[in-house]
Structure 1
């Protein structure tokens, strides 16, 4: 399938650029990166480091998605990097020049479309049942098996109960009670 490598190519190229020259992207990323980095202690403090980290995730996720290795996880990782990238780089609502605003809107919508493609890829099970489907059907099978065992036990217990009742009647006849 050529769709995944085509979708992945943009992330590999963009991720490599972020790895090589994070200073090109850092000024635009700063308004988004700073509040997130202040709240999440495990993230690096410097914007350039976070841009590099995002670029590394994009390269790794893009390669994995393109090769079909853990494609669902790769697509989710790429989608996670796309949110701050889009919000930082394509803030069309802040652009004052009409042509710049229109261009940024196009890029914003392009990224939104790519996000949709990634979410479709993340949801694609490749014709295999999803974990949710498997879990639901396993639970149904367990309920069915438990119901079957319950009915079998009740059916098997009837002759024993009947025999016990007959025995009790015989014992009462012998003892005269």
Structure 2
């Protein structure tokens, strides 16, 4: 597994999916034993998430969005008609949200129930300012958690937003670049780039 903040993992009710050395996709059981693995020959993984709607993991690389079937170990390209540099992604029950690499990151929204049909592009300043980048994107209970780094002020914050309107529910300033995950119904765990440093 890759070290540090750029490591990506995803989980469903049975397996933990990890990226091992940018060469393999590994399925681990609850005891963290490798159950199965397959070679991964695409560009490095930026993000992964699970979609119960399509019963697949979704893997985000710089130029490709892939689905991964844990039962057959099959990888398939998604038919997303945009030539973007993808960075982070997350799923609601119905939609896939993808952010891009770069300042003023837009977020693209696609429908999981209709073969990744494009719904909407959310742009700056709704997503973030032009001097900011979205460092991560996670969905839980109709909300999107978005760690955002501001280049001019050299500081970060986490915004919690409505997944339907992008209205900001709350915002918390933090120090340094981070990613995050949901640990409970209404709790988020930021992971700072400083090794072994968590906020809750």
Report the TM-score when normalising by structure 2. 0.21
Structure with the bigger percentage of strand: 2
Report the TM-score when normalising by structure 1. 0.23
Structure with the bigger percentage of helix: 1
Instruction: Specify the structure having the higher radius of gyration (Cα).
Output: 1
